[in-house]
Amino acid sequence: MIALTLTEIAAAVNGELHLHGTDSAETVVSGVVDTDSRTMEPGAVFVAKPGETTDGHLFVGTAVEAGAVLALVERVVDEPVTQIVVPDVVLAIADLAREVVARVRAAGDLKIVGITGSNGKTTTKNMLATILRPEGETVAPKGSYNNAVGAPLTMLRVTHETRYLVCEFGADAPGQIGRLAGLVSPDVGVVLMVGMAHAGGFGGLDGTVREKSELVRAVRPGGIAVLNADDHRVAGMAPIADERQLEVRWFGESERADVRSGSLEVTATGTHTTVTIEGRELPLHLRVLGGHHIKNALAAITAAGALSIAPETAIERLETMELAERWRMQVLTQSPIRIINDAYNASPDAVAAALRTLAQITGPDERMVAVLGAMSELGEHSVEEHQKIGLLAVRLRIPRIVVVGQEARALYLAAVAEGSWSDEAVFFESADEAFEYLKTELRPGDSVLVKSSNAAGLRFLGDRLGESFS
Q: Which residues are annotated as a binding site for ATP?
A: 117-123
Q: Give the DSSP letter string of 78-136.
A: SSSSEEEE-S-HHHHHHHHHHHHHHHHHHHS--EEEEEE-SS-HHHHHHHHHHHHGGGS
Distance of CA 448 to the CA centre of its chain: 23
Bridge pairing between strands 330-333 and 138-139: unpaired
Residue closest to 350 by CA, chosen among 313, 389, 401, 319:
389
Is the peptide bond preceding residue 444 cis, with omega within 30 degrees of 0? no
Q: State how far the Cα of 74 lies from the Cα of 81, in Å rounded to an integer.
A: 14
| CA separation, residue 43 to residues 28, 85, 97, 160, 304 (Å) | 10, 19, 18, 18, 34
Task: In whole angstroms, give the CA distance from residue 434 to residue 436.
Answer: 6
Cβ-based neighbours of 152, under 8 Å, separated by 6 or more: 93, 94, 96, 97, 180, 183
CA angle (120, 126, 132) in 5-degree steps: 130
- Rounded Cα distance between 109 and 161, Å, is 9
Q: Which residues pair with 191 in a beta bridge?
A: 116, 227
Instruction: Give the type of residue at 183.
Output: L
- The DSSP symbol for 52 reads S
Q: Which of helix, strand or coil describes residue 332? A: strand
| Known binding positions | 117-123
CB atoms within 10 A of CB 134: 11
Is 198 strand, coil or helix?
coil
- Amino acid identity of residue 313, one-letter, is T
Q: Which alpha helices (H) appear in 143-265, and where do they start and end?
A: 150-155, 176-182, 205-218, 232-235, 238-243
How far is C-alpha 449 from the geometric centre of its chain's CA atoms? 20
